[in-house]
Structure 1
């Protein structure tokens, strides 16, 4: 368990217990039914071959796009049902982000891990609604928050009856159109008694950096992931796409699908080296 005695967090059939990192993997958004099945099946084959603990992710709605003309997704009902079908076929938990109280309740009928977006991490009604569903909750720490401030979010979740939750680091605002990832955040959130995940791909965003879209430095995502695992974390969130240059959303930040197995296996090796001291 390392330096801290942390609770085991259950995500469907997957346990986040510190003995193996949990990988949250998938494309940014559901671009089409054929597309999402193709990515999921390729990831599933990799996971089976290597024995990963993993969760499949994709958004049914990108509600915070830079421009009004940007692609959003399939919508809550259709997207969540599709993700549930994928999860059932591959035997893997699934996750997606929710944006309203109503969406949290609707998604909970199909989704194992409800994700609270960083911009909404202080929205009490949304946090409580997600916690009351009985599903596991992953809260992205806002770009504007200190690591120790997640305790207030944890208190809201516990008050709503939720014991299975985690926090995800995804960078902190660093001037205009830029983020910086502070690895100390992972240590401090775990020191408070919470499981901590590193979002390697969103941490390399340049929010709004392309004017009507978000830019980023995707080639640095594996670098930050390696640093996070060496620092000590319980999981790594990474978005991946067969051709990031053609992605409907967050293309500049995503890791090419052809590279993801090598990245994950490297992270597993690092975790094995530092597990007993992190």
Structure 2
């Protein structure tokens, strides 16, 4: 699937990276992370799509930080595009936002909790952009066929499917790696979200917990099956992050992980 003139998403070609902070906290945070991620990915010849959210509408607590909002957030993502010549992706939360967000981003993301919502999926499809759909924690891999059909009803078949774990009881996620192969059988590029997959939703009462130690391991396992991309949230100082502080990967350690991931991808795809 063609994303841009120089980026293709394919389960059979070298993997792409979707990475950035969970939520936009400041202009400085976003630009610093984008700059360093671009430097790292350029060194290793990996296609980067920068990700951050202008709003986290599904936070555990009413008091949790959500982000700068639609207009300020899109302004900052536009700066990332302009200053670093990067493709950008972000999520939207109500159908009415799709058209406005599509004016800035190169890929539109449908959040996991909203991945069955017909109006969300058709609004995304109608933008004509590539769509990255997070598989809901409550949906089977086979069930993503219905998601695809909803988007394709708009005439848009540029769809990536993202695995991010399934609920295992309360406050815990597990990853069934079989889902990656099952979703590949739907003839769409498959992305593995390695940081949300180690999340423990709502485990801290007013916020989610998790354990970032396992994120690099799960990414290696996913790449061993042959996937189109890895999604990873990365932060300059994860313990101070205003969202997903337990699962985001430290920016200063990220290059070592990326080198390992690239090596696995090359072996699996015989590059």
TM range (shorter): over 0.9
Q: Which residue number corresponds to residue 72 of structure 1? A: 66
Taking the aligned partners of 2:45 and 2:81, their CA distance within structure 1 comes to: 16
Residues 13 and 92 in structure 1, CA contact (< 8 A), matched pair in contact too: no
Given the two structures, how large is their TM-score scaled by the length of structure 1? 0.94
1:15 counterpart (4, 8, 24): 8
Residues 12 and 112 in structure 1, CA contact (< 8 A), matched pair in contact too: no
Taking the aligned partners of 1:265 and 1:30, their CA distance within structure 2 comes to: 26
**Partner SS state of residue 142, structure 2:** helix
Task: Please show how residues 192-271 of structure 1 align to structure 2 within 5 Å.
Answer: 192-271=186-265
Residues 142 and 183 in structure 2, CA contact (< 8 A), matched pair in contact too: yes
Residues 150 and 189 in structure 1, CA contact (< 8 A), matched pair in contact too: yes
1:32 counterpart (23, 26, 32): 26
Q: Which residue number corresponds to residue 111 of structure 1? A: 105
Structure 1 residues 11 and 174 mapped into 2: Cα distance closer, same or farther (>3 Å)?
A: farther
Structure 1 residues 67 and 242 mapped into 2: Cα distance closer, same or farther (>3 Å)?
A: same
Structure 2 unaligned segments of length 5 or more: list them.
none
The offset of 1:148, in angstroms, is 0.7
1:133 counterpart (97, 107, 127): 127
Taking the aligned partners of 2:75 and 2:156, their CA distance within structure 1 comes to: 23
2:54 counterpart (55, 60, 65): 60
Taking the aligned partners of 2:5 and 2:258, their CA distance within structure 1 comes to: 21
Residue 46, structure 1, aligned to residue 40, structure 2 = yes
**Partner SS state of residue 68, structure 2:** coil
Residue 82, structure 1, aligned to residue 76, structure 2 = yes
**Partner SS state of residue 252, structure 1:** coil
Structure 1 unaligned segments of length 5 or more: list them.
1-7
Taking the aligned partners of 1:204 and 1:128, their CA distance within structure 2 comes to: 30
Q: Which residue number corresponds to residue 3 of structure 1? A: none
Residues 55 and 66 in structure 2, CA contact (< 8 A), matched pair in contact too: yes
Q: Hey, which bits of structure 1, 4+ residues long, moved more than 2 A?
A: none
The offset of 1:50, in angstroms, is 1.8
Q: Which residue number corresponds to residue 155 of structure 2? A: 161
Residues 38 and 48 in structure 2, CA contact (< 8 A), matched pair in contact too: no
Q: Write the deviation string for residues 188-212 of structure 1: whole angstroms up to 9, x where unpaired.
A: 0001211110000000000000111
The offset of 1:88, in angstroms, is 2.4
Taking the aligned partners of 1:81 and 1:132, their CA distance within structure 2 comes to: 23
The offset of 1:38, in angstroms, is 1.0
The offset of 1:90, in angstroms, is 1.3
1:173 counterpart (164, 167, 186): 167
The offset of 1:81, in angstroms, is 2.3
**Partner SS state of residue 237, structure 1:** strand
The offset of 1:9, in angstroms, is 3.6
Given the two structures, how large is their TM-score scaled by the length of structure 2? 0.97
Taking the aligned partners of 1:170 and 1:57, their CA distance within structure 2 comes to: 16
Residues 77 and 107 in structure 1, CA contact (< 8 A), matched pair in contact too: no
